[in-house]
Structure 1
Amino acid sequence: MKKHIIETVLEVYDSITELPKDIQQLMNKAQEARDRAYAPYSSFMVGAALQLANGEVVLGNNQENAAYPSGLCAERVAVFYAGATYPGVAVNNVALTVKSLKHIVETPTPPCGACRQSLAEYEVNQKSPMTVYFMGEKGKVVKANSIKDLLPLVFDSSFLK
């Protein structure tokens, strides 16, 4: 029996200031979006900024609802808006940041499973990787060169054929 190994490589930066200037600006936009999130139930605010191939930046933040789980995560708000407004335009970079109203989040916080799957759908369709940067409220930033680094066994449309 031949054994196969699946590995993921992520880069970790000590702070946002170590990122390239354009990614710092993208993360700043994600922080601004995060601070406008509607999170009265979880007190956990998430912001996303997507840099598209056409140069546009699309923002999203989590939107909660009293009828849990009717709300939507920041990543899906942003990527669905990008798909609706700029169909067929690739997402090059994704910046994500979180903030709790109960404590300071210093641990880089990746997208949830549903958001990873939604981002993977767009990455597979665009046939090019999207780089994902994520952080807490402050501190370290993690870089994944593809959503497949965060969801290595991606479920896509090839399984439905």
Structure 2
Amino acid sequence: MLTKYPTPKKLAHANLSKLTEILWNSSNGRFGEWKAQELKNLAHDSFGVENCEDIYSMALLTMLDEIQSLAEKADELEKKISSLLKNFDSTITSVPGIGPILDACILSEIGDVTRFRSADKLAAYIGVDPSVNQSGEYTSDHTRLPLPAKSRLDGLCCCCAA
């Protein structure tokens, strides 16, 4: 919508049916004519700097082009990472919410998984292995997680959980 109507003046004078179509398509059917009319009214009531409108419009369109270019490059990188991951025997992406980017980040932080003798050792390395406080016959009801060995892994685990 911003590429077609980069200023309030252009939005206020937009064809209602064209604006409705853009909103409908870009919102997967959530916004229709009522939202288009609301946006036109808001644009009509807004104020702007009349003599700088072209400069602001050009700056906005330039930024939108940059965002589009960066999104395309990010997609290319994700495809390249996905193809490189095929060289590794990783099952991390079988976990819901973990895609190729998180998989590659986790693998780069952990390294060769076979260097850990057990899953418990790996969990302790990552910092997600709860420890039980006990002394003599006393055992605490509360377990605590140790500080993670690597803060980047801790952050990646938070990304996975989100």
TM-score, length basis structure 1: 0.20
Higher relative contact order (CA 8 A, sep 6+): 1
TM-score, length basis structure 2: 0.20
Report the structure number with the largest CA radius of gyration. 2
In terms of fraction of residues, the more strand-rich structure is 1
